[in-house]
Amino acid sequence: MEAIILAGGLGTRLRQVVQDLPKPLAPVAGRPFLAILLEYLASRGFASVVLSVGYKHELIRTEFGAAFGGLRVRYAVEDRPLGTGGAIRLAARQCDEGEVFVMNGDTYVELEFDAMRAAHRAASARLSVCTAQVPDVARYGAVVVEDGRISGFAASGSAGPGRINAGVYLMAGDLLEGMGLPEAFSFERDVLTPKLGELQPVAFPARGMFIDIGIPTDYARAQQIFARP
């Protein structure tokens, strides 16, 4: 399996606790968070990753090089911010497989990747989206699932437990080609939402842990979760 990891964000919400580092290099239990994520992917059967990088990308390349934890590592470097969509499209052009997982470099999701791929293929889908159950959807907005497909997104702000878009996708490698999209664009705003009816993405539920270290409270929680005994 092959993955694109979006690791180019500025990490502005973490600046008060992590300074002068790209967010995926934020130390968690004494290690860069991205190292924890890469080792997890290697343990789940991935062979190759493309890191989509921008802000201080030299630090990320120095840390991981061309191979890490049994994974082949390549880099798609943004000369200027391309948004999530532009970053995915740039990285996908380096991928070898016809389908590729896409995920965020600041999020850890316990997920049965093989099962998600099997469901994706069984549905002849061009796009599948991992969903996660959280105690409060207010930060993310909930997903609406009908007959195993995502049919809509509730706006962020509504509170209470529910399922959210966990930010892990399985997509055809050429999904973003030929759509007439600009160089820089948002995958969520410019593709996923307006083309929902056309794409009819499969919803695949993650059964395990979901944590996004993008805000200080969850970053602090990750220190406890990943602390080695």
Domain ranges of the chain: 2-127+167-183+208-225
List the strands of the sheet with 202-205, edge to edge.
67-68, 71-77, 48-53, 2-6, 99-104, 162-172, 127-134, 202-205, 149-153, 143-146
Tens place of pLDDT for every residue, the chain, 229 residues?
A: 999 999 986 655 555 556 677 888 889 999 999 999 999 999 999 999 999 998 888 999 999 999 999 999 999 999 899 999 999 999 999 998 899 999 999 999 999 999 999 999 999 999 999 999 998 888 888 999 999 999 998 866 677 888 999 999 999 999 999 899 999 999 999 999 999 999 999 999 998 899 988 888 888 999 999 987 6
Cα 162–chain centre separation: 19
- As a whole number of angstroms, the distance between CA 103 and CA 4 comes to 6
CATH architecture of 2-127+167-183+208-225: Alpha-Beta Complex (3.90)
